[in-house]
């Protein structure tokens, strides 16, 4: 499956994201990943912003990332942290990995950007062991359906092109549900906590489970 590369985004995102890490995103990542354990796959790892937050209980970390610059930065981050991580080229929609082989899959700020969310989630479901966890922190569309339609239009004409294929209007919770996960432990959240609304403020955070 051919994917449009977003090289320009890959150049500026790591620096832009750094300011958010100190404004609460780093803490969110740490809280979210504290319970990760065993063999873990991270999809769309970007420059490896999650790597510092994986606990000792994670025995193996594999990360899939389609942008070469991001892969280079993620490998450098793993080395800097002294953490073993296998960072491979690939896309969530077509994971070059075996069925039922991971205890957890981590998706942070990436299901907004995959080209085909249903295919990506079907692949995540396939590689997870029964009972395995999809740990996610994703910004999602407004709960209001009419606003979501507006978001979809805005995404198509502008946002997606500037922000590396990102979409603001996706109903990611419904897609995770459709893929066959138990979504009971996912909860809506607003981030960052600003006094004014931001298009990417509504988030879905927590762990969905592949039935055992």
Ligand X SMILES: C[S@@+](CC[C@H](N)C(=O)[O-])C[C@H]1O[C@@H](n2cnc3c(N)ncnc32)[C@H](O)[C@@H]1O
| Site for ligand X, rule CB under 6 A | 3, 13, 17, 43-46, 49-50, 64-67, 70, 91-93, 108-110, 113-115, 164-165
Q: How far is the CB of 165 from ligand X (least distance, A)?
A: 6
The DSSP element (H or E) to which 38 belongs, if any, is: strand 38-43
CB-wise, 149 or 199, nearer to ligand X?
199
For the chain, the distance separating the N- and C-terminal CA atoms, rounded to the nearest angstrom, is 30
Q: How far is the CB of 16 from ligand X (least distance, A)?
A: 9
Q: How far is the CB of 44 from ligand X (least distance, A)?
A: 3
CB-wise, 115 or 177, nearer to ligand X?
115
Q: How far is the CB of 74 from ligand X (least distance, A)?
A: 9
Give which of 101, 99, 105, 93 is closest to 40, Cα–Cα.
105
Give CA–CA dist 32/122, Å, rounded.
22
Q: How far is the CB of 64 from ligand X (least distance, A)?
A: 6
CB-wise, 64 or 212, nearer to ligand X?
64
CB-wise, 13 or 181, nearer to ligand X?
13
Give CA–CA dist 186/205, Å, rounded.
5
**What sign has the CA pseudo-torsion 178, 183, 188, 192?**
negative
CB-wise, 32 or 173, nearer to ligand X?
32
Helices (H), the chain: 7-20, 26-33, 68-81, 117-127, 145-154, 160-162, 172-178
């Amino acid at each position: 499956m051919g994917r449009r590369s977003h090289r320009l985004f890959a150049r500026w995102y790591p620096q832009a994201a750094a300011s958010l890490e100190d404004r609460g995103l780093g803490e969110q990542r740490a809280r979210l990943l504290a319970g990760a354990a065993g063999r873990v796959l991270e999809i769309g790892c970007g420059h490896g912003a999650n790597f510092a937050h994986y606990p000792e209980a994670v025995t193996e970390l594999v990360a899939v990332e389609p942008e070469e610059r991001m892969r280079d930065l993620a490998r450098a981050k793993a080395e800097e942290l002294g953490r073993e991580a296998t960072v491979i080229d690939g896309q969530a929609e077509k994971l070059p990995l075996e069925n039922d082989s991971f205890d957890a899959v981590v998706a942070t700020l990436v299901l907004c950007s995959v080209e085909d969310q249903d295919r990506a989630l079907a692949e995540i479901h396939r590689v997870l062991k029964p009972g395995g966890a999809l740990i996610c922190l994703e910004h999602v569309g407004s709960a209001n359906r009419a606003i979501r339609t507006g978001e979809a239009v805005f995404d198509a004409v502008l946002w997606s092109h500037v922000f590396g294929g990102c979409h603001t209007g996706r109903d990611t919770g419904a897609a995770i549900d459709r893929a066959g996960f138990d979504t009971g432990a996912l909860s809506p959240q607003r981030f960052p906590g600003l006094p004014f609304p931001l298009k990417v403020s509504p988030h879905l955070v927590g762990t969905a489970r592949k039935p055992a």
